[in-house]
Structure formats: structure tokens, C-alpha cells
Amino acid sequence: MKMNVCVIDDDQIYQLIIRKAVERAGVYDSICFYNDGSEAFEDLLNSKKVLPALILLDINMPQMDGWQFLDGLIKHRPDFDRETTIYIVSSSIAFSDRTKAESYKQVSGFLSKPLSVEKLKEIALKHQK
Amino acid sequence: MSPIKGSKLSISHIFSRPILAGIFSFVFLFLLGCFLLYQRYQIIRESEEREMVGVMDQVEKNLNNSLKDSYSVALSMGLLIDDKGNIKDFDQNAPQLLEQYPVIDVVQMDPGGVIQEVYPLKGNEAVIGYDILKDPKTQKEAYKAIDAKKMYFAGPIDLKQGGTAVVGRLPVFKDNRFWGFSAVIIKLESLIEQAGLKELARDKYLFQFSKIDAITNKERFFIENHLDRDYNVVETIILPDGDWKFYIALKNPKETFYELIPLTFFILLIAAWLSWMVILLFKQPARLQKLVDEQAGELINSELKFRTIFNQAAIGMVRVETPTGKFLETNQRFRELCGYEEEELKNMNFRDLTDPVEVDKNVALMNNLLNGEIREYSLEKKLIQKNGNILWIKLSASPLWKEGFSGNTHIAIIEDITERVLAEDELMRKEKRYRALVENGAEVVTIFSKEGWTLYSSPSGEKLSGYSEAEFKAINLSTLIHPEDSKIFQKQLQFAIQNPKQPVLGDPVRLINKAGEWRWAEYTITNLLEDPNINGIVGNFRDISEKKQAEIHLNSTYQTVMEQNRRLLNFSYIVSHNLRSHSSNIQAILSLYNTSDVEEEKLNYIELLSKVGNALNHTLDDLNEVVSINTNLDLNIEPLQINAFIDKTIDLLQMQIIKKGAIIKRDIPDDMIVKFNAAYLESVFLNFLTNALRYREPVRKLEVSITGYKENGSWVLEIADNGIGIDLKRHRDKVFGLYKTFTQIPNSRGVGLFITRNQIEAMGGSVGVESEVGVGTVFKINFK
């Protein structure tokens, strides 16, 4: 069964690119986008809403950044990590961001942009049931 | 034993027995007094007698006058008898006579001894016809007058008509034949009154009046009183015309005697007192002798004592010839002190033992002693011992002659005070050293009371604070301490008070100096209230202002550096993130491009690439602006009037303000002038006002208040709006961040406030924000 993937990122160009890359990888069922952490948070806050299998989360966003999104979700849906897999995807190469990502047990990994098709395939492979 | 010797002995016997002498003199004096008293008594008696004689003379004279008058009356009446022996004109003449001689009470004519005529008749009628010569009671005296042929006063008799009276009968002879009597009657009371007895007797005398009775030949008394003739009678007179006797006597003959009794007592006292004086006088030689004996004994005793003291005293003693300074006598201790033998010292002079420098001073003092200018002196000097060593001594000299006399020896007492002098020297050196340490140290040493009043302050205190010690004493320590530090200091002080003798190191506090500057001081306080030498809390204060200033400066530099570092980090993060997001996009697009075979798709990628190029350009512009703010060090900074710039900004935004119906309130003083770069100031105001216009609450009219005021000496500008507000709980640390937005409003890029903040901070100011969602936002700019 193919996974569905959700991208939370404010970079419009990146959104186009990732859509192409996901299509190329061909291992995902569907893809959805949120332009900001706050947009995603408001949508996913409702516990009845089924979480996507994979979330690719950006850190730097103007209104609600990746960390705030994570914290909000942990607070409101404590068990969300059973339903979904989260990866931080950032253009940041700052060491502090990588360490911070590792401190969240709900986060499966820290990925640097650009995200290659191969990497997307690998992740799908790793987390497919 | 010869009699002479014996008498001498008896005299000396008396002298040696003062009480006996006293008794003798008492007896002698008392007898003498009594004798004088007796003499006095006699004189008084004599004078009394003289006085009584005088009185009697007067009485006699008065009586004689009365009798003479009687005689005249009797005679005048006799002339009324005519040659035939008849009485003529008795009734006419009798009243005239009685009127003329009031002493006479009644007149009678008795021819042949028979009473014929009486005047006044009234009351005397009974006597008419009475024969005098026949009555045995009267005949004897009547015949006595006839026989003597002269007037004779009979009575006093009890009158037939009542009363007692004397009757003077003048026998009248006609042709040498007895005719009868011409008689006058004087009442006894009238006679006594006429004699002036009552007047003369007063209180002092008693009178008596007597007559030898013609019949009984006995003396009869007529005045009622207790005159005791044996004792009292002093004076008498006898009137032969009537055989009368008058007595006079003192009424109180013992009065004189009584008067003398107090005098007797007085004499007794005088005698007793004088004899007591005699006793004392006689005792004097014995007392003096005793005194002499005692003093002689004491003298011997003190001479002995002096010898003993001199020889065995624990201090040195020398007897010195004052004019020359030669030693006359020395004691054991002195010889020990100087190291010479007694024989050697006999030929020596004080100069031999004295430091030549001190000789003159010594000689001068000795001369003063000699002229009596001073009575003693003492000085501390050096004593040169036989072996040449030096001892410090205290010398006290007193002359051996009495004040006001002259003499030529004195005694000097010498004490070894070497140890004391050395100890004093040492003490003085130490004191000097400590004083120098305290006075010249950078530390202020103070002693103050529990209540904070200064008791002592070292001279360095004035150097450091500007307050003199006297000024310090008038100021309470607590008023010098900065209010913010007062609590810490009080805490330390209380701790010190509870822990006596334990030095307490306090945290630095600020103290104000006389010039009004706050100085940082580090201090140690030690509670020595119980130490009797201190009686206070000792405080050591060190001025560490420079150090503290450096520390504060260092701290602020550190803060600045940290801030810059933080900003740099932030910047580098932004740079890395924002630039890398573009480069990673390029990388991804290229990778997709390379792996694509579809030509149309490849064209899409190229288009995408050009979008990335634009975005990158945009980002680079932003970054450039930020970098230029942070690196442009040569900006022109000038004083700018806030009001002018606000005007300019409002002008620029006039169109928008009108369009959106915004109200702008201003309360900015004209003298609000800050040092700023003009372009930055324009940019800052434009940014804040633009934001206010953009993020307004659509449901209400936008109001912007711009207020300028001074806070802690620096200018502050507040820009408050009633817009949508910012959720500071979520966004506080992102408000001024780059590429941070908190609204859904399009075109919010998250650059304006970042730039604004950088511009303000580049000018040395700071900016803060307070906001509430739905209420509004206040930005507060603190200018440098």
C-alpha cells in the first residue's frame, strides 16, 4: 500500500519541485501541501482528521515555524506519532537545528534540502508496512 | 626646811593646783561682790530716807499753814466781841471767813466755855449750849489752852454732830479775865488733805498720824493701816500745838532688797566664770609642756623614720648641696643605681652622672629652687652609670628648708624608669606606625555606633569622601548609602551586631560623597561594641569605584559583544538558510532537469529556475540592506527634531491616512531633539506608521497616538495604535525577526521591523513592544 505524503513549507518553488520529485519516485499515493505551520496546525488539530502517513516539515516559516507546529501537535494530539512519520526538511545546515530535531522522539530524521528522488524512495521503503 | 622655802612651796603648790586657785578666786570674788552690793544697798537706803525727810518737811509746812489759817480765823472772830463781852455780827462775818479759809469747816463762839454761836448752824444745832469745861472728855484739853493762854488743838475728837475732827480753841481774855473760846473745827479728812498726805504718799509711802490721849496718856492712831513702827518708821514730826505726831514709812521696805537679788546672782556667775578662767590659765603651762614633750617625741620618731626610709628605701635618695650640686649623703639604692661606692660619691657632683646636654637644665632648676621661685621639681633624665651605661631616671627634688626661709641642701628622689621609657618609646613607634597606616591607607577606617553615628573616621575618610571627621559625626551612615543598597548593608550590620568580634565582609555598596557622586565601596565591619577601647563597630571601607566602573563597563561591553554575536549568529543563520534554500532549489531543479526527457517539462524547469533567480535577487537585496545598516560606521549623526520628522512622515502618508480615515494624535514637546541619522529616522517612522495603517482593525477607526517624553534623562517615543495587535505569547521573540510575519495579510514579508530595529540599535537606541490581540500595539523607542 502506497503512503500518502504531506509537505508543510512556505517556499512555493520548493513545493513545485517536491511535487515533481514525489511523482518521479512513484512510491507515494498522494501529496498535499500547507503553506505555513499555522495552516497545517489548524487543519490537523482535529483528532478526527486522519493524519497523512508521512509529513515533511520545514523549520523556517513566517507565522508558525516547524518547532511551534510540532509543540502544538504534541500538546493537542499526544499520540500522533503512532499515526504518522515526521521528517524535518530544511535548507538549514545549522548544527543546532539538527540537534534540536534529534531531541524530539516524534521526529524520525533531519533531512537537508534538496531532497532527491532516491531519498524519497528510501524513506517510503523504510516506513512502508 | 626654812619658812621661806615653805611659803614658796605653798605658792607653787597653789599654782600647780588650778582647782584650788579657782576656789580661792571664787570665794574672794564673791565676797567682794557682796561687799559692793551692801554698799549699794546702804546708798539706796540713805537716799530713801532723804526723800522721806523732804516729804515730811512738806507735810509739816502744809500743816503749819493750816494751823496758821485757823489761828487767823479764831483771832478775827475774837475781834467780834465787844467791850461788854457780847458777840456782834457773828452771822455776817462767819460766812465770809469760811469762804476765805476753806480749810475751816465750822466756827464757834463759846463764851464761858458754853457753845453759843455756830456757823454753819445747819447740822450743828445739837452742840448749842454744850459746856466744854464741864465735860470730862474735853475739859482737860480746854484747860490746857486756858493755862497756856494760846491756841491749842484738841482731838481728833468724835463730834457730837458726827465725824472726826480737830478743834482749835483760842482762849479769849477780856480785861485779863477769861471770856471764853473762839473755836474752829477742821474735819480730820480736810486736815489730812490739806497736809497733802495723799498726794505725797502715792504708792510708795505709808503715813500715820497719832496723838497722846489727854485722859489716858496713851498714843492713839488715826489712820487705818499696818504700819509697823519698829521696822518701818523712818521719820516723824511732832506738832506741839496739838501734841500730834506724824509718821512716814516705806510702803514696801523690802523692795530694795528684792531688787538686789538678780544682781547677786549675776555676781555669783561672774565669780564662777572668772574662777573658771583662772583654772584654765593655771592649766596652760602644763598643757604647753605636754605639747612640747609630745612634739619632741614625734621629732625623734620621725627623724628615726626618715633615717630608715632614707637608707632602706627601694628608690634612690640623695641629699645634695643645692648651690654646688655636690652629693652630701646617698642611700643604698642610689649607689646601686649609679654603681659608685659611698666614698667615691662623697667627692662627686651631680654633673659627673649627668649627660652634658642636660646639665644646664638641671642647674637652672636648682637655682630656681634656691631663690624660692619653685618649691619642688621633677624631671626625667639620663643617669650615666659608673660603667658608662645609661639609665633613664625620674628625679624629684624638694628643698630641705621651709617656705620663706633659705637653705642650701635639697633631697632628690631617683626612680629607675628605663623600662617604662623604653616601653613608651616602643609604644610611640607602634602608634606612629599604626597611625601612618591608618591615615595614609586607601582604606577609610571608621568607628560608628549601632545606630550608624560616626564616632571616629580616619583622615583618609576626608580624602575619599570630602567630609571632614566633624562633618562625618553629624551625618548618619545610613543617609550616605544608596537606597538600593541600604537593605544589603543593614542586613550585614545586623549580622555583625549579632556576631561580635567577627569581621563581616559585605557586598559592595554605593556611598554618596560630599560632591554628590556615588562611589562604590567594599567594606568589612567588625562589631567591637564590647571592647572597652573601641565601644563601637569598626568599619573598613575601600573605594572600589574605578574597579566597579571597569567591571560595569566590562559587563556592558560583554553585553554588547554578546548582542552583536547573537545578531551575527542570527544573521549567519538567515544567510545560510535563505541563500541555501535558493541554492538547494536550483540544485533540485537541475537534478530534475537532467533526469527529464520531456522537452516541455525541461522548459518548465528553466522557467522555474528564473523564478528562483528572482527570489534569490530579492533575498540578496534584503540582506544587503541589513548588512549596510550593521556595517555603515561613518553615518552622519546629527541632532534632529522629532516633530519635524513626524510632520514629514505624515506628509508622505497623507493619501493613505485620508483614504483610511485614520486619526493621528501627537503629544511631542518641541524640544525633543535626538541624535540620529536623518535617513534612518525617516525610515523608522515610515515603517511604524505604515505598519499601523496596514495592520488596522477593520471594524473600528484607526487611532495612532505618538507621545514623546523623558525617562531617566533620555527621550522616549511611544507609537500606539488600536490595530489588530500581535500575540506576544507566541511571537515575542519573532516580532523583530527577519522574514517573520504573524498575519495572513498579503505582502507581509517580515523585513520592515527587522530593518527598523537594526537602524535604532545602530544609533545606540532600543525598541520594545507591548501588544494585545484585538486591542492594539505600542512600540516604545528609547533614544540614546
Q: Which of B532-541, B622-631, B701-710 has the lowest mean pLDDT?
A: B622-631
- A115 and chain B in contact, CB less than 8 A: yes
CB contact under 8 Å between A114 and B608, yes or no, is no
Question: Which CATH topology does B49-250 take?
Answer: Beta-Lactamase (3.30.450)
Q: What is the residue-averaged pLDDT of chain A?
A: 88
The helix/strand/coil state of B703 is strand
Q: Which residue type is seen at B258?
A: Y
Q: In which band, very low, low, confident or very high, does the pLDDT at B1 lie, cut at 50, 70 and 90? A: very low
Q: In terms of pLDDT, which residue wins out, A86 or B201?
A: A86
The residue assigned the cell 568589612 is B524
- Dihedral, B63, B66, B67, B73 alpha carbons, nearest 10: 180
| Distance, CA of B626 to CA of B228 (rounded, Å) | 165
Percent with pLDDT over 70 in chain B: 92
Question: Which grid cell is B635?
Answer: 553615518
CATH number of B441-543: 3.30.450.20
Which residues from B are below 8 Å from A75, CB to CB?
A: none
- A15 and chain B in contact, CB less than 8 A: no
CATH number of B552-625: 1.10.287
Judge whether A24 and A16 are in contact, CB under 8 Å: no
Q: In which band, very low, low, confident or very high, does the pLDDT at B234 lie, cut at 50, 70 and 90? A: low
**pLDDT above 50 (res B294):** yes
> What average pLDDT does this structure show over B340-369?
89
Candidates B152, B147, B215, B212; CA nearest to B183 is: B152
| Distance, CA of B527 to CA of B499 (rounded, Å) | 7
Q: In terms of pLDDT, which residue wins out, B691 or B191?
A: B691
Which residues from A are below 8 Å from B616, CB to CB?
A: none
Q: In terms of pLDDT, which residue wins out, B180 or B234?
A: B180
CA B652 to the chain's CA centroid: 87
Numbered ranges of CATH 1.10.287 in chain B? 552-625
Angle CA(B346)–CA(B347)–CA(B348) in degrees, nearest 5? Answer: 95
Question: Which grid cell is B471?
Answer: 562633618
Q: Convert the pLDDT of each residue in A67-76 to its tens digit.
A: 989 999 998 8
CB contact under 8 Å between B573 and A68, yes or no, is no
Q: In which band, very low, low, confident or very high, does the pLDDT at B707 lie, cut at 50, 70 and 90? A: very high
**pLDDT above 80 (res B604):** yes
Judge whether A43 and A17 are in contact, CB under 8 Å: no
Question: Which grid cell is B621?
Answer: 537585496
pLDDT computed for residue A56 by the predictor: 94
Question: Which CATH topology does B313-424 take?
Answer: Beta-Lactamase (3.30.450)
Nearest-CB residue to B612 (from A13, A21, A115): A13
- Alpha-helical (H) ranges within chain A are 12-25, 37-44, 66-76, 95-103, 117-127
CB contact under 8 Å between B584 and A116, yes or no, is no
Q: Is residue A118 situated within a structural domain? A: no
Q: Which of B215-229, B502-516, B685-699 has the lowest mean pLDDT?
A: B215-229
Q: Convert the pLDDT of each residue in B443-455 to its tens digit.
A: 888 888 888 888 8
What percent helix, strand, coil does chain A show, rounded to 5?
Answer: 45, 20, 35
Q: Convert the pLDDT of each residue in B400-419 to its tens digit.
A: 888 888 888 898 999 889 88
Which residues from A are below 8 Å from B589, CB to CB?
A: 13, 17
| Mutation choice for B interface testing from A23, A113, A115, A118 by most B CBs within 10 A | A113
Query: b/e map of B115-149 (b: 16 or more CB within 10 Å)?
Result: bebbbeeeebeebeebebbeeeebbebbbbbbeee
User: Which positions ≥6 away from B133 have C-beta within 8 Å?
Assistant: B112, B113, B139, B142, B143
Sheet of strand A54-57, all strands in order from the earlier edge strand to the far edge: A28-34, A3-8, A54-57, A85-90, A107-112
- A85 and chain B in contact, CB less than 8 A: no
Judge whether A52 and A83 are in contact, CB under 8 Å: no
The DSSP string of B427-464 is HHHHHHHHHHHHHHSSEEEEEE-TTSBEEEE-HHHHHH
Instruction: Indicate the number of domains in chain A.
Output: 1
Numbered ranges of CATH 3.30.450.20 in chain B? 49-250, 313-424, 441-543
pLDDT computed for residue B576 by the predictor: 78
CB contact under 8 Å between A93 and B576, yes or no, is yes
pLDDT computed for residue B231 by the predictor: 47
User: Does the B638-782 domain belong in CATH 3.30.365.10?
Assistant: no
Judge whether B189 and B155 are in contact, CB under 8 Å: no
Classify residue B579 by its DSSP letter. Answer: I
Q: Is residue A14 situated within a structural domain? A: yes
Q: Report ipTM (2 d.p.).
A: 0.88
Q: Indicate the helix (H) or strand (E) that contains B699.
A: none
Q: Which of B39-48, B307-316, B496-505 has the highest mean pLDDT?
A: B496-505
In this structure, what CATH number is given to the domain that contains residue A80? 3.40.50.2300
User: Which positions ≥6 away from B733 have C-beta within 8 Å?
Assistant: none
Q: Which of B128-142, B509-523, B737-751 has the highest mean pLDDT?
A: B509-523
Q: Is residue A116 situated within a structural domain? A: no
**pLDDT above 70 (res B633):** no
Which residues from A are below 8 Å from B742, CB to CB?
A: 62-63
Q: Convert the pLDDT of each residue in B106-117 to its tens digit.
A: 888 888 778 888
Q: Convert the pLDDT of each residue in A30-59 to its tens digit.
A: 899 998 888 899 888 887 888 899 999 998
User: Which positions ≥6 away from B511 have C-beta within 8 Å?
Assistant: B465, B480, B481, B482, B518, B519, B521, B541
Candidates B719, B739, B502, B704; CA nearest to B619 is: B739
Residues 558-577 of B with CB under 8 A from A: 573, 576-577
Judge whether B690 and B657 are in contact, CB under 8 Å: no
Q: Is residue A125 situated within a structural domain? A: no
Neighbours of B647 (CB within 10 A): 12
pLDDT computed for residue B640 by the predictor: 93
Candidates B589, B586, B613; CA nearest to B602 is: B589
Q: In which band, very low, low, confident or very high, does the pLDDT at B669 lie, cut at 50, 70 and 90? A: very high
Q: What is the residue-averaged pLDDT of chain B?
A: 83
**pLDDT above 90 (res B160):** no
CB contact under 8 Å between A21 and B584, yes or no, is no
| Distance, CA of B240 to CA of B469 (rounded, Å) | 127
| Distance, CA of B92 to CA of B99 (rounded, Å) | 12
What percent helix, strand, coil does chain B show, rounded to 5?
Answer: 50, 25, 25
Nearest-CB residue to B581 (from A16, A113, A116): A113
Which residues from A are below 8 Å from B612, CB to CB?
A: 13
Q: In which band, very low, low, confident or very high, does the pLDDT at B80 lie, cut at 50, 70 and 90? A: confident
Neighbours of A129 (CB within 10 A): 5
pLDDT computed for residue B7 by the predictor: 47
pLDDT computed for residue B5 by the predictor: 44
| Distance, CA of B211 to CA of B247 (rounded, Å) | 11
**pLDDT above 80 (res B221):** no
Q: Which of A90-99, B117-126, B244-253, B440-449 has the lowest mean pLDDT?
A: B244-253
**pLDDT above 70 (res B497):** yes
Q: In which band, very low, low, confident or very high, does the pLDDT at A99 lie, cut at 50, 70 and 90? A: very high
Nearest-CB residue to B587 (from A60, A94, A114): A114
Angle CA(B400)–CA(B404)–CA(B406) in degrees, nearest 5? Answer: 50
Range of the domain at A100: 3-24+36-106
| Distance, CA of B618 to CA of B538 (rounded, Å) | 70
Which residues from B are below 8 Å from A24, CB to CB?
A: 592, 595
Candidates B121, B137, B170, B79; CA nearest to B129 is: B121
Judge whether B369 and B320 are in contact, CB under 8 Å: no
**pLDDT above 80 (res B367):** yes
Neighbours of B11 (CB within 10 A): 10
- A99 and chain B in contact, CB less than 8 A: no
Q: Which of A48-52, B61-65, B602-606, B613-617 has the lowest mean pLDDT?
A: B61-65
> What average pLDDT does this structure show over B80-87?
77
Q: Is residue A100 situated within a structural domain? A: yes
Residue A12 to residues A17, B195, B591, Cα–Cα distance (Å): 9, 182, 18
pLDDT computed for residue B507 by the predictor: 84
Q: Which of B240-254, B334-348, B474-488, B520-534 has the lowest mean pLDDT?
A: B240-254
Q: In which band, very low, low, confident or very high, does the pLDDT at A87 lie, cut at 50, 70 and 90? A: very high
